[in-house]
């Protein structure tokens, strides 16, 4: 990709939320997008939604693509079929959108000479071929995690791709990325799931299940949203980033226990000070 745009078609493997949204944005920029999907039914619906210029189940659709984005679930990204690996042009720039970077970088840097590990941090609760939307990446972080073996020209092309869809470009080490997303993305999924389970179990124990659900409003909706999201994605994030997720959960448990102790001891002034500190802290994360 040059300042005047890519000289060859852009390939996308997978047209779920990220891949489909990227296809829409790139076509809006006048670029040719060739997409590879797994099922013929997905290909048909993707064509109806015009998620790419050309959609096919044959890996040959990626031939001549100068930049290819692997928008695959983490398990398929870490264990791709040989047909996909063999179809990737050796001269093309390859990047991914996986939410865990260290294992992806370790494997793909061996499989392709121009691989760049990256992660656009944008999303909704939706998944699948119906989920793609225009403008998903605007103003959102797109993180790359290059190492010493990363091709600098390939990195520059992925950066230009991210900036073309108005994402905010960042670079960091893969291990640092995985620790950070465990705290602000992966661990919160499990915390949110626990909140849903606690509300359900507590309501049942109090014989007030229906009332608890009827009274749930915007606050509960906000804090429980990601726990009610894509279960496959949540499971894969925990599996593929297990160590960092466990560390994040331990930190969360410590904070929750300390808040619990303030309530048990009726230390209301101290509790209010903690909540005031959290009130001041929250804008720094938004």
pLDDT in tens, 111-144: 999 999 999 999 877 889 999 999 999 999 999 9
pLDDT in tens, 218-275: 999 999 999 998 899 899 999 999 999 999 999 999 999 999 999 999 999 999 999 9
* pLDDT at 8 exceeding the cut of 80: no
Domains of the chain, each with CATH number or no CATH: 10-172 (3.40.50.720), 176-285 (1.10.3660.10)
Quick one: which of 98, 110, 185, 121 has its CA closest to 147? 110
Return phi, psi of residue 152, to 5°.
-65, -30
Q: Which secondary-structure segment (H or E) carries 164? A: helix 152-164
Query: Measured at the alpha carbon of residue 190, what is the angle toward residues 184 and 196, in degrees to the nearest 5?
Result: 120
* pLDDT at 286 exceeding the cut of 90: no
Q: How many residues make up the chain in this entry?
A: 286
Q: Work out the average pLDDT over 162-186.
A: 97
* pLDDT at 2 exceeding the cut of 60: no
Share of the chain above pLDDT 90, in %: 93
Neighbours of 10 (CB within 10 A): 28
pLDDT band at residue 173 under the 50/70/90 scheme: very high
Share of the chain above pLDDT 70, in %: 98
* pLDDT at 48 exceeding the cut of 90: yes
Mean pLDDT of the chain: 94
* pLDDT at 6 exceeding the cut of 70: no
């Amino acid at each position: 990709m040059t300042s005047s745009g890519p000289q060859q078609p852009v390939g996308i493997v997978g047209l779920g939320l990220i891949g489909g949204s990227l296809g829409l944005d790139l076509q809006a920029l006048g670029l040719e997008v060739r997409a590879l999907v797994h099922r013929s039914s997905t290909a048909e619906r993707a064509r109806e939604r015009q998620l790419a210029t050309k959609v096919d189940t044959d890996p040959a659709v990626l031939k001549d693509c100068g930049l290819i984005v692997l928008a695959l679930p983490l398990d398929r990204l870490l264990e791709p079929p040989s047909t996909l690996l063999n179809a990737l042009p050796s001269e093309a720039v390859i990047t991914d959108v996986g939410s865990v970077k260290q294992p992806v970088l370790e494997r793909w840097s061996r499989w392709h000479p121009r691989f760049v590990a990256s992660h656009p941090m944008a999303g909704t609760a939706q998944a699948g071929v119906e989920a793609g939307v225009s403008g998903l990446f605007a103003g959102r972080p797109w993180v790359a995690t290059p190492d010493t073996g990363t091709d600098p020209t390939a990195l520059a092309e992925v950066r230009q791709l991210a900036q073309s869809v108005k994402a905010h470009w960042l670079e960091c080490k893969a291990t640092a990325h995985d620790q950070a997303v465990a705290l602000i993305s992966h661990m919160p999924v499990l915390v949110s799931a626990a909140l849903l389970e606690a509300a359900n179990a507590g309501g049942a124990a109090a014989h007030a299940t229906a009332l608890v659900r009827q009274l749930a409003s915007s606050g509960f909706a906000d804090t429980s949203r990601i726990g009610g999201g894509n279960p496959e994605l949540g499971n894969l994030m925990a599996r593929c980033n297990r160590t960092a997720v466990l560390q994040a959960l331990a930190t969360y448990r410590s904070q929750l226990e300390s808040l619990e102790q303030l309530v048990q001891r009726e230390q209301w002034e101290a509790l209010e000070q903690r909540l005031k500190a959290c009130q001041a802290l929250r804008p720094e994360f938004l």
